[in-house]
Amino acid sequence: MSPESDISSDRELVGQMQRIQFTIGDHALEIEPVQPNGGAHPASGEEPFGVNVSLRDWRLAAETLTNRVCDVRR
């Protein structure tokens, strides 16, 4: 491959990574579109909650699904 085609290919990969990250973020917002009243400062007795918790749960669900698919293929 020529350097130009390598650079073009790498640019496409970076573009794919960016689209993937935005898609994951969009999915997280669909799961938890808004924070409860108080946002980052929950009332006493309430658990703090944010997008990072939703992303953690989403990643756990994706990992679980991936593991199940791999088990089925074995």
Q: What is the pLDDT of residue 59?
A: 84
Q: What is the pLDDT of residue 50?
A: 66
Interval 28-72: pLDDT, tens: 777 665 555 555 666 677 666 666 777 788 788 888 887 776 666
**Torsional class of 54: left (φ above 0), alpha (ψ -120 to 50), beta (otherwise):** alpha
Q: What is the CA radius of gyration of the chain?
A: 19
Q: What is the pLDDT of residue 42?
A: 66
Can you tell me the distance from the alpha carbon of 31 to that of 20, in angstroms, rounded to the nearest whole number?
Answer: 17
Backbone φ and ψ for 24, nearest 5 degrees, come out as: -60, -45
Q: What is the pLDDT of residue 5?
A: 87
State both tokens at 21: 């990250």
Contact 55, 24 (CB under 8 A): yes
pTM: 0.40
